[in-house]
Amino acid sequence: MNRWLLPENIADVLPSEARKIEELRRLFLDRFQSYGYELVMPPMVEFLDSLLTGTGQDLNLKTFKLVDQLSGRTLGLRADMTPQVARIDAHLLNRAGVTRLCYAGSVLHTKAAPGAYSREQLQLGAEIYGHAGWEADLEAQILLIEVLNLSQIGQVTLDMSHAGLLAGVLGDFKPAAEALDALYAALQAKDVSSLNQVISAWPEQVRTAILALVTLNGSPEAVIAAARQKLPKVKTVEVALADLERLCAALGGINSTPNLNLDLSDLRGYQYHSGVMFAAYVEGLPTAIARGGRYDMVGEAFGRSRPATGFSLDIMTLSRLSKVNSRKLAILAPWSIDQKLGKKITELRSQGEVVIQLLPGDSQDGEEFSCDRELVDQKGEWIVKPRA
């Protein structure tokens, strides 16, 4: 076996691409900071039961497991940082008011997600804790749209749904866990045939409402109007539709308004989310570039129930679509021990310039920098001139 080969769907990131990823990471974290988000850095590995607390089966299947040689307990390599940040808010910070936290770090998946750069991702996200109202969901969505616009990936389409809709549709009816998983999968695929098989023995009112969910997809006004006609008139459903209506109206008034779409059967992460769910789509990627939503129940598993909402995305995948130009202009300098040259190079670098000093016999051929200028000696003084 060639020693330089990597596992399937694991890749090195080479210079020009690595610089672009890093530029985007800094750009996004600076924007988060401008909103008052505090940066946290959870560990790459944790005890498995802590890492998967409150997350459902989906994350369990994505997580690599290993045995801790010190304690003998099972550890997990994180596949998602959101539960870790919820643990930090609930157990370590233990604040009473609103807390805004952000993060950027590597996560590892057992299988590559469709459209993802690799099984290793650089996950970036922002979370708001302590506010149960739709206003926190709006802030998270606006922040997501802003960072996507900063990355120059073109028009953004924001899809929204709400976990409360399925809860309202099911009402007092409690299907078995296996049946609920099958329902969830059929709704995701919009597979009406499979859906009919799953719900064939369920109460008629529940069956009718679930089949209606599959058809409720399109422009916000039309979908909400149809949903109020077709779905049960219960408080849970009414609150969910009101939340979606308010969010769509508020997003319609911001700068760089995204295309808005409601897909009320898109319940990806239903086991994890408790309210509004949203996904951002861009041209050139068949799957969502970012996902988010409300997950009030996760903190409860750590001993402190806190309202929570936020989003996350993979910067490595995003960078492949981004039109941000990370190639930097640079100044080429010859090799010399001339003290005047050394002083000039130091001065230029302190001003933010990239100065590449060639080693003897060397030529500049890197991908990351474009040397459009050079330092030349004119009568004992080193000056910057355009390269011929």
Domain residue ranges in the chain: 1-153+286-326, 155-282, 329-386
CA 114 vs CA 9, 82, 367: distances in Å: 11, 20, 29
Q: Would you state the structure tokens that stand for residue 257, as one six-digit string?
A: 């308004």
**How many of the other CB atoms lie within 10 Å of CB of 4?**
6
User: Rg for the chain (alpha carbons), in Å?
Assistant: 25
Give 155-282's CATH code, choosing from 3.30.930.10, 3.40.449.10, 2.60.40.60, 1.10.4190.10: 3.30.930.10
- For 177-228, what is the HEC assignment? HHHHHHHHHHHHHCCHHHHHHHHCCCCHHHHHHHHHHHHCEECHHHHHHHHH
Provide the token pair at 153. Answer: 């990936």
Cβ atoms of 290 and 189 within 8 Å: the answer is no
pLDDT of amino acid 273: 80
Note the pLDDT of residue 355: 95
pLDDT tens column, 220-271: 999 999 999 999 999 999 999 999 999 999 998 888 889 999 999 887 765 6
Same fold, 1-153+286-326 and 155-282: yes
- Tell whether the torsion through CA atoms of 15, 19, 22 and 24 is positive or negative: negative
Please, which pLDDT band fits residue 113 given cuts at 50, 70 and 90? confident
pLDDT of res. 57 = 67
The model's pLDDT over 317-339, given as tens digits with 9 standing for 90+, comes to 999 999 998 888 999 999 999 99
**Which among 260, 241, 244 is positioned nearest to 252, based on CA atoms?**
260
DSSP reduced 3-state for 104: strand
Of 185 and 330, more confident: 330
Other beta carbons less than 10 A from residue 65's beta carbon: 12
Tokens for 83, please give them.
């539960």
More confident residue, 30 or 367: 30
Mean pLDDT, to the nearest integer, of 133-140? 96
Specify the CATH number of the domain 1-153+286-326: 3.30.930.10
DSSP-derived pairing of the beta strands 369-378 and 156-162: unpaired
Averaged pLDDT score across all residues of the chain:
91
pTM over 0.85: yes
CA distance 325 to 309: 32
Instruction: Identify the residue with better confidence: 62 or 363.
Output: 62
Instruction: Report d(CA 286, CA 337) in Å as an integer.
Output: 55
Q: What is the 3-state secondary structure (H, E, C) of 277-342?
A: EEEEEECCCCCCCEEEEECCCCHHHHCCCCCEEEEEEEHHHHHHHCCCCCCEEEEEECCCCCHHHH
Q: Are 212 and 230 in contact (CB under 8 A)?
A: yes
**Cα separation, 257 vs 254, whole angstroms:** 6
| Residue 367, pLDDT above cutoff 70 | yes
**Statement: residue 51 has pLDDT above 90:** no
3-state secondary structure of 83: helix
pLDDT at 56: 61
Cross-strand bridge partners of residue 67: 74
Structure tokens at 386: 């355009």
Contacts with 340 (C-beta within 8 Å, 6 or more apart), sequence order: 380, 381, 382
User: What is the dihedral sign for C-alpha 328, 334, 335, 338?
Assistant: negative
Q: What is the pLDDT of residue 91?
A: 82
At 98, list the tokens.
């609103």
What is the per-residue pLDDT for 148?
96
pLDDT over 70, % of the chain? 97
Question: 304 falls in which pLDDT band (50, 70, 90)?
Answer: confident
pLDDT of residue 212: 93
Nearest Cα neighbor of 33 from 85, 86, 104, 97 is: 104
